[in-house]
């Protein structure tokens, strides 16, 4: 009887281990597939930019990746890619970007070239955002005033300190950045570079 029970226990353990490995393998396949799609959606289409102009091409990229845009003169953010033809015109300019939980990444930030009215950018649980992506915000340095970076685990102290190059910033909201090891030092660096900017880190105004 003991031998039979032992065999059953071994069989259950083997089956459980197999199922766990299978689940992990399936998860890895899904992650790889999503990573491939994310990279594809962030690929720069130079011909499209020439065809429709930088503003519309950038809006298409952002919405394709799950972000929302606010056109200058409008009050609401728009995230419906299919409705864009009805709400955007040749003279429309992007004023705000809400990239919360979107899949935008640094490789797609060249779509920001030529944008001339972006004042507000929000990254919240935007998991592909890293130091390079923040560095590329320099493409918006002439207009960007309000920036939020929350729950973006790939951002480090280097990326936060680099925001000091964005001289037009008026408010910066930072929170839940596990990659930032010395937040006080980062805030000190930002305050030195942007003395007029209101900086909030993890709910504390600086």
- Top pLDDT among 204 and 14 is at 204
Domain of 15 in residue numbering reads as 1-41
**For the chain, what is the largest distance between any 2 Cα atoms, rounded to a whole number of angstroms?**
82
Residues 70 and 159 reside in one and the same domain: yes
Q: Which residues pair with 78 in a beta bridge?
A: 69
Residues 35 and 51 reside in one and the same domain: no
Residues 33 and 80 reside in one and the same domain: no
- Considering the chain, what is the average pLDDT of its residues? 86
The answer, yes or no, to whether residue 6 has pLDDT greater than 90, is: no
Number of domains in the chain: 2
Strand-by-strand arrangement of the 120-124 sheet: 68-71, 94-98, 120-124, 146-150, 171-175, 198-201, 204-205
CA distance 130 to 167: 20
Residues 69 and 106 reside in one and the same domain: yes
Q: Token digits for 164?
A: 């000091």
Residues 191 and 180 reside in one and the same domain: yes
Q: Token digits for 136?
A: 């590329």
Residues 78 and 93 reside in one and the same domain: yes
Residues 100 and 146 reside in one and the same domain: yes
Q: How far is CA 56 from the centre of its chain?
A: 19
Residues 23 and 119 reside in one and the same domain: no
Residue 92: which CATH number?
3.80.10.10
Residues 108 and 134 reside in one and the same domain: yes
pLDDT number for residue 176 = 98
Residues 65 and 1 reside in one and the same domain: no
Q: What is the pLDDT of residues 79-133, one digit of tens each?
A: 987 777 655 566 899 999 999 999 999 999 999 999 999 999 999 999 999 999 9
pLDDT number for residue 5 = 52
Residues 37 and 99 reside in one and the same domain: no
- Backbone phi, then psi, for 115, in 5-degree steps? -75, 135
Q: How confident is the model at residue 142 (pLDDT cuts 50, 70, 90)?
A: very high
**Which one-letter DSSP state was computed for residue 13?**
H
Q: Which residues pair with 96 in a beta bridge?
A: 70, 120
Rg (CA), the chain: 22
Residues 161 and 176 reside in one and the same domain: yes
State the DSSP string of 101-141.
T----GGGGGGGTT-----EEEEES-TT-BHHHHHGGGGGT
Q: Token digits for 107?
A: 């490789």
Q: What is the pLDDT of residues 47-73, one digit of tens each?
A: 999 999 999 999 999 999 999 999 999
CA distance 84 to 127: 25
């Amino acid at each position: 009887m003991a031998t039979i029970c032992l065999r059953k226990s071994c069989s259950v353990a083997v089956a459980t281990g197999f199922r766990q490995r299978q689940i992990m393998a399936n998860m890895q396949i899904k992650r790889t597939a999503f990573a491939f799609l994310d990279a594809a959606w962030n690929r720069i289409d130079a011909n499209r930019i020439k065809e429709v102009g930088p503003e519309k091409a950038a809006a298409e990229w952002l919405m394709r990746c799950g972000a929302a845009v606010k056109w200058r003169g409008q009050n609401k953010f728009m995230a419906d890619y299919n409705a864009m033809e009805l709400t955007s015109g040749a003279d429309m300019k992007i004023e705000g970007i809400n990239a919360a939980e979107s899949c935008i990444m640094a490789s797609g930030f060249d779509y920001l070239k030529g944008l001339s009215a972006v004042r507000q950018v929000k990254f919240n649980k935007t998991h592909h955002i890293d130091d390079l992506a923040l560095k590329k915000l320099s493409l918006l340095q002439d207009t960007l005033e309000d920036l939020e970076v929350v729950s973006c685990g790939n951002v480090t102290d280097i990326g936060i300190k680099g925001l000091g190059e964005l001289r037009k910033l008026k408010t910066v909201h930072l929170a839940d950045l596990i990659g930032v090891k010395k937040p006080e030092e980062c805030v000190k660096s930002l305050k030195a570079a942007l003395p007029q900017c209101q900086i909030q880190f993890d709910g504390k105004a600086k």
